[in-house]
Amino acid sequence: MLVTAVETRPAGVTGATPAHHRPIGARVGAFVALTKPRIIELLLMSTVPVMFLAQQGVPDMLLVLKVVVGGYLSAGGANALNMYIDRDIDALMSRTERRPIVTGMVSPREALVFGITLGVVSTLLLGYGVNWLSAGLALGALLFYVFVYTLGLKRRTSQNIVWGGIAGCMPVLIGWSSVTNSVSWAAVALFLVVFFWTPPHTWVLSMKVRDDYLRAGVPMLPVIKGNVAVGKQVVAYSWVMVATSLAVWPLGHMSWLYPVVAVLLGAAWLREAHALYGRAKAGVVGAKLKEMRLFHWSITYLSLLFVVCAIDPFVK
């Protein structure tokens, strides 16, 4: 499958100006786009606050800088390799048809070399600048995202994002291990919060762009099962996620602030999840389904939960 993709010019770039003839500013922007900066912002949001929790105060700012840069390069390398592999289906979906490889702004070979280079540099930076446990976790996340999720699961099963989402949970462990050079049960609990958060967050977006995935032949759950089944799964994962978020409290020896905020955030999340499921069962479709309300709230939920993790040591 991969060999065929390498030999096939993606749709939409026939006759395009060769990548190396494009304006330098546009080329730089295209390489940045390969890293998917907006997704990495969310990954770092689950990394830095954990460092404060692990330190039980303010961690060394130089260490934070190294982790942020190393984490960005590692996740960026994984995303670039993901775009290299998925350029054939990216060309078929309106949500991804403007990505750099599809438009010809970056050639497939350049994206491949760029992604591998970022992976190598990030591993060395984290290994020598932080510790080798953090470097190994980051490299493991990159390899898992590329080989297990992108090459193994994405085009084969509707459970792709459930297990593929493990890569997106690793920044929690990286943040903790960067401070302590170890992994605690509190870090594992936060890892699981992100693990159970990822499917609902992704499935509600895929409900919105279901036709894209259908056209590209990607078996996302809304394509295979429909909105009612997705709504039921979203509710189930939401309850487990909220319960797991409360387990962080005793494991992390946290103050009263964390459970209070976790309960309030969780209650708001569950209200949205059940409302979405109710609309799906009622047969609501189109804009009235309002699936993006939960998608946007999911980002707010995770950000605020991890911000509280950073603040809690000072309350104690």
- Rounded mean pLDDT, 82-93: 96
Lowest mean pLDDT, pick from 127-141, 259-273, 278-292, 294-308: 278-292
Residue boundaries of the structural domains of the chain: 23-179, 184-316
Grade residue 39 by pLDDT with cuts at 50, 70 and 90: confident
With bands split at pLDDT 50, 70 and 90, how would you rate the model's confidence at 131?
Answer: very high
Q: At the top level of CATH, which class does the domain 184-316 belong to?
A: mainly alpha
More confident residue, 7 or 42: 42
- Residue 3's pLDDT is 32
pLDDT given at position 5? 35
Average pLDDT in the 210-224 region?
A: 93
Write down the pLDDT at residue 17.
Answer: 54
| Helix (H), strand (E) counts: the chain | 17, 0
Please say if the pLDDT value at position 311 is more than 70: yes
What's the mean per-residue pLDDT of the chain? 91
Look at residue 179 and tell me whether its pLDDT is greater than 50: yes
The stretch 239-258 carries a mean pLDDT of: 96
Superfamily of domain 23-179: UbiA prenyltransferase (1.10.357.140)
Calculate mean pLDDT across residues 220-235. 94
How far apart (Å, rounded) are the C-alpha atoms in residues 100 and 20?
13
Which of 34-43, 116-125, 219-228 shows the highest mean pLDDT?
A: 116-125
Instruction: Kindly report the pTM of this predicted structure.
Output: 0.90
- Judged against a pLDDT cut of 70, whether residue 299 lies above it is answered with yes
How does DSSP assign 214-258, residue by residue?
HHHT---HHHHT-HHHHHHHHHHHHHHHHHHHHHHHHHTT--SHH
Average pLDDT for 154-160: 94
| Residue of 230 and 285 predicted with greater confidence | 230
Per the model's pLDDT, the better-predicted residue between 26 and 250 turns out to be: 250
Phi, psi dihedrals of residue 284, rounded to the nearest 5°: -70, 135
Q: Mean pLDDT: which of 35-49, 105-119, 284-298 is highest?
A: 105-119
Residue 156 predicted with pLDDT over 70:
yes
